[in-house]
Amino acid sequence: MKPKVLVARAVFPETLELLRAHFHVVSNQDDHIWTPEELRSRAAGMQGVFTTGSERIDAAILDACPELRICANMAVGFNNFDVPAMTAKGVLATNTPDVLTETTADFGFALMMATARRMAESEHFLRAGHWDRWRFDMFAGTEVHGSTLGIIGMGRIGQGIAKRAAHGFGMRVIYHNRSRLSADLESACKATYVSKEELLSTADHVMLVVPYSAESHHTIGAKELGSMKPSATLVNIARGGIVDDAALAQALASGQLAAAGLDVFEGEPKVHPSLLKLKNVVLTPHIASATIKTRMAMAQLAADNLIAYLTQGKAITPLNPQVIKS
C-alpha cells in the first residue's frame, strides 16, 4: 500500500502529480489555513506531511500522529519545526536550502534599492496624481553604490547579497555572524567581519538575513535602532520577530532612522498598524523567494525529500539526519 502524505497548503499541480505517483495524497488546494487542531486531525494516520513555513510541527502534533515519519518544509527557514521534539520522536525534518539562495539575494538587494531610493513612496505619489513638476529634491534618497552595507547573518543568502553589493555596486561590505567566515569566503564576498555594535553604528544600509531562533528574537530593538545612523536604512528579509516592529515604527516615525524595507513581520500576515501608516517603509508580503522557477524548485525539493525517505529511507536535505536509520 502507498504511504499517506498530507500536503498542508496549496502547491503547484505538478507537485501534487509527482507526489500522487508515489503516495496516497490528501491535499489542500483551496489553501485553507488550518488551526493547529485541524492540522493535527488531518495529519493523523499520515506518514509524511508537506509543509510551508506556516504550519507548526511540535510535540502536540507529533503526539497525535504516531505514524508520522517525515515533515518536508517548502522553505529554507524551519522555525515552524520543533526539531528536537521531532528528533526525539524519530520524525525526519527537511528544508529547501540552496535552491532559493540567489533569488532571495536578488530580492534583498532590490528591497534595499527600493528603500534607499524611495521607489514605493514615489510611485504612490505619482499614482495619486500629485506629480505636477520636477523638483531638485523630490524623493531624494540615500546613495547605494559606494556606501557601506552591513549584513547580519552571513549564510548562503547573506553571502549572495555581499557579492552583489561588493562586486556589482562597489559597496564596502561589513558583516556580523555567529561565526566568522573562512578567509577564502571573506575574500570572495569582499566582506569584513565586525562586531554587531560597529556594524550598526557604521553601516549606511543594514540587511538582516539571520535565521529566527530564541537567541535572534529582536536582534534589532529600540537600543540597536538608536545606535544606527539617522540616515541609515534597515532591510529585513529574514523572519518576523528578528526586528521589534513596534520599536522600528517609532524610529521611522520620529526620524531616528531614514527608512526600512520589510518582507517579513512579527505575527504575519498581520502587519503592525503603525508601519502601515508610514511612508518611509517599503512593505512586501514575504515574497523574497517568489519567482516561479525558484518556488517550483523548492516544491520539487520538498517532494523529493518525501519520496526519497518514504520509498528508500534516504533524504536529500535533512535537518536531523540522526533519525535516518542506516
Q: Which among 94, 100, 86, 85 has a CA at the least distance from the CA of 51?
A: 94
> Is 133 an annotated catalytic residue?
no
> Is 239 an annotated catalytic residue?
yes
Task: Indicate left, alpha or beta for 3 from its phi (over 0: left) and psi (-120 to 50: alpha).
Answer: beta
Q: Bridge partners of 24?
A: 4
> Is 167 an annotated catalytic residue?
no
Q: How far is the CB of 263 from ligand DGY (least distance, A)?
A: 8
DSSP string, 113-175: HHHHTTHHHHHHHHHTT---S--TTTT-----TTSEEEEE--SHHHHHHHHIIIIIH--EEEE
In angstroms, the CA 34 to CA 31 distance is: 9
Q: What is the DSSP pairing of strand 233-236 with strand 205-208? A: parallel
Toward ligand DGY, which CB reaches closer, 219 or 289? 289
Respond yes or no on whether the N-terminal peptide bond of residue 285 is cis (omega within 30° of 0): no
Toward ligand DGY, which CB reaches closer, 76 or 258? 76
Q: How far is the CB of 51 from ligand DGY (least distance, A)?
A: 10
Toward ligand DGY, which CB reaches closer, 148 or 289? 289
* Segment (H or E) for 276: helix 273-277
Q: Dihedral (C-alpha) 49, 292, 281, 96: value to the nearest 10 degrees? A: 40
Grid cell in block for residue 176: 556580523
Instruction: Give yes or no for a contact between 6 and 24, defined as CB atoms under 8 angstroms apart.
Output: no
- Is 11 one of the binding residues for ligand DGY (CB under 6 A)? no
Grid cell in block for residue 191: 566582506
Toward ligand DGY, which CB reaches closer, 199 or 288? 288
Q: Which residue is nearest to ligand DGY (CB)?
A: 77
Q: How far is the CB of 147 from ligand DGY (least distance, A)?
A: 26
Q: How far is the CB of 103 from ligand DGY (least distance, A)?
A: 10
Q: How far is the CB of 242 from ligand DGY (least distance, A)?
A: 12
Q: How far is the CB of 141 from ligand DGY (least distance, A)?
A: 27
Q: Scan residues 38-67 and list those touching ligand DGY (CB under 6 A).
A: 53
Toward ligand DGY, which CB reaches closer, 41 or 52? 52
**Contact residue for ligand DGY among 8, 39, 72, 75 (CB under 6 A):** 75
Marked catalytic residue, from 69, 164, 239, 272: 239
Q: Scan residues 277-306 and list those touching ligand DGY (CB under 6 A).
A: 289
Angle in degrees, 0-180, between the axes of helices 292-312 and 101-116, rounded to the nearest 10: 150
Contacts with ligand DGY by CB under 6 A: the residue count is 6
Marked catalytic residue, from 176, 272, 286, 295: 286
Task: Indicate left, alpha or beta for 232 from its phi (over 0: left) and psi (-120 to 50: alpha).
Answer: beta
DSSP string, 3-32: PEEEE-S---HHHHHHHHTTSEEE--TT--
Q: Scan residues 78-117 and list those touching ligand DGY (CB under 6 A).
A: 100
Task: Give the binding range for ligand DGY (CB under 6 A) out of 73-81, 241-249, 275-283, 316-324.
Answer: 73-81
- Is 211 one of the binding residues for ligand DGY (CB under 6 A)? no
Task: Give the binding range for ligand DGY (CB under 6 A) out of 72-80, 146-154, 190-198, 266-274.
Answer: 72-80
**Contact residue for ligand DGY among 10, 60, 77, 324 (CB under 6 A):** 77
- Is 76 one of the binding residues for ligand DGY (CB under 6 A)? yes
What are the residues binding ligand DGY (CB under 6 A)?
A: 53, 75-77, 100, 289
Catalytic residues: 239, 268, 286
